[in-house]
Structures are given as structure tokens and as C-alpha cells.
Amino acid sequence: MAVYLNDQFLNNDQAQLQVSDLSMQRGYAIFDFFRTVNGVPLFIDDHLDRFYASAAAMHLPMNKSREELKHIVQELLHRSSLAEAGIRLLLTGGYAADSYSIASPNLVITCNPVKTATPDDFEKGLLVLTYEHQRELPHIKSINYIMALLLQPLLKEKRADDVLYHNKESITEFPRCNVFIVTKENKLVTPARNMLRGITRKNVLALAATSIQVEERDISIAELFSASEVFLTSTSKKILPVLKINDSNIGNGRPGPVTTALYRQFIALERNVI
């Protein structure tokens, strides 16, 4: 597969960063990820907005314009011959002589085959665990996934699909997804703070606003377990229902009507984009 690294198009096995890069020395880097359908990048402007915002928040200067990034993505797609691809943009802290000071950032863009959730995955739904943890700098899409990786053995032991973070006040997010609940009053609610604002989340909120009352606010653990429906959203998972949390079933153990309707609307939105 083709890779873009600092003004060069290379093969995967040719792309290298020095060990002095702050992404390796201190875990200092940001990224974004989007996918393509039939060669068309989905919601690319929203992803680029977030990428530039994360870079600015981490004091990482970007020397490429939005149009230049789009051109690079199209060239990677051409070189990779992939209609369905995952595009990952990575901006690192650069090569620091003292392993501590932000240097000139390295820009890496990769294009690889992508696996997305299927209709069968939707029908199967998810079993998730709750875990008390507040992700550092949650508004920034950084490469810090230490806790998520640390919890992988627990998920395997419990045969769970994912972990849902919460702090002492409310639920926040999954490591790579946003969370929504449908209340007993048939309101769609999603957290408004202490989490990353996902691009799929943004589109789902827009779709839902035409048919159901929507609220962005804190959601307590108690409200989570009393919800009639729970689902997650992300770029690769799209919309997936959560049917069991810890040892408690959500709803009747099947994807609920609100989740199902939004899933169908989102799939239709994808088709309209391409």
C-alpha cells in the first residue's frame, strides 16, 4: 500500500520515522481517520476540521492546506486502487533533540483496506462493560489509547465487545466511539462534555433532530441502565446497538426502533454522499 510521508509517496515498507520522534518518545501526536465508499471520502471536510483543531490544540503547525490534503488523499487512493479504504492522517511532535520539546511535525497519511460493521453485526448487537476512567484531553484526537489497550485482556476474559468509560458524574464515551441512549420518555440523549465529538455522532444528531427530541447533556450511570435503547457511533462501526451492559440487558435484547430507524437513515445518507 502507498503511504505519504513529508512530501513523499512511498510504499509501506519504505516509510520510516526516526526514534527521536515525540510520538515514540512521549506519545505526542494527533490523528484522524475516515473511510471511503466507491472511492469517495466520507465527510472529509468534517474530519479535516477536527484534524486541524486537534493540531492547533496540541501546538502542532500544519504546513499543508485543506486542498493539498485532499489531493494527497486522492493520489493515495489512486496508487492503492482501493474503492473501500481507511485513510489515517497522523501529525507527530517531530524529531526532538531533547526528547521533550515540540519540533517540526511529521505528517504521515496512510491508505489501507478497511473493515466496517455489517448488517449482521447490527442485528447481533454488543455486550459492553463500564469502567471508571476519564480520558486525558478528551476534545483532542490524540494517539493516547493506553487505557483502551490495557483493558483488552479484561474484555477477552468477560467476552465483551467494548468498554464504556464513565467518571464519577456521568458516562462519557467508548475508547473509539460515542454513546447514545433513548430514555423511557423517548428522548435521544448523548453526552455533551468530557468526550471527543465524533463525525458520525454529528451526522446522527442531525438525522435524529427531524424525528425525535434530542438532548446533549450529562447521562448518569443510573440513567444508562434505565434506558430503553443504547447504541454507539463511529466511523467504522457506523451505528451498533448495545444490548447488554455488564450483567444487565438493555430493552428486550433486540435492536430498538429508534436505533434501527437511525441506522437505516445513516446508511441512506452514506449512499447520498457518494
* Sequence spans of domains, the chain: 2-113, 119-273
Which three three-digit cell numbers place residue 179?
454513546
Residues of the chain with pLDDT under 70: 274
Handedness of CA 102, 107, 112, 115 (dihedral sign): positive
Distance from C-alpha of 23 to C-alpha of 19, rounded to nearest angstrom: 9
Distance from C-alpha of 48 to C-alpha of 5, rounded to nearest angstrom: 18
In sequence order, what DSSP letters do the residues of 119-160 get, joined into one string? Answer: HHHHHH-EEEEEEE---SSTTS-BS--HHHHHTHHHHHHHT-
Distance of CA 228 to the CA centre of its chain: 24
Distance of CA 76 to the CA centre of its chain: 21
pLDDT of residue 1: 81
* CB neighbour class for 231 (10 Å; exposed up to 12, middle 13-18, buried from 19): buried
User: 133: which strand partners?
Assistant: none
How many angstroms separate the Cα of 232 from the Cα of each of 57, 59, 77, 105? 26, 30, 28, 33
Contact, 249 vs 143, CB < 8 A? no
Chain position carrying cell 492503492: 80
Helix (H) or strand (E) holding 31: strand 29-37
pLDDT of residue 274: 64
Distance from C-alpha of 180 to C-alpha of 215, rounded to nearest angstrom: 10
Q: Which CATH number fits domain 2-113: 3.40.50.1100, 3.30.70.360, 3.30.470.10, 3.30.460.80?
A: 3.30.470.10
The overall pTM is greater than 0.75: yes
Q: Hey, how many other C-beta atoms are within 10 angstroms of the C-beta on 136?
A: 10
Q: Which CATH number fits domain 119-273: 3.20.10.10, 3.40.30.10, 1.50.10.10, 2.70.150.10?
A: 3.20.10.10
> Taking Cα atoms as reference points, which of 153, 200, 158 lies closest to residue 177?
200
- HSE-up (13 A, CA, CB side) for residue 250: 30
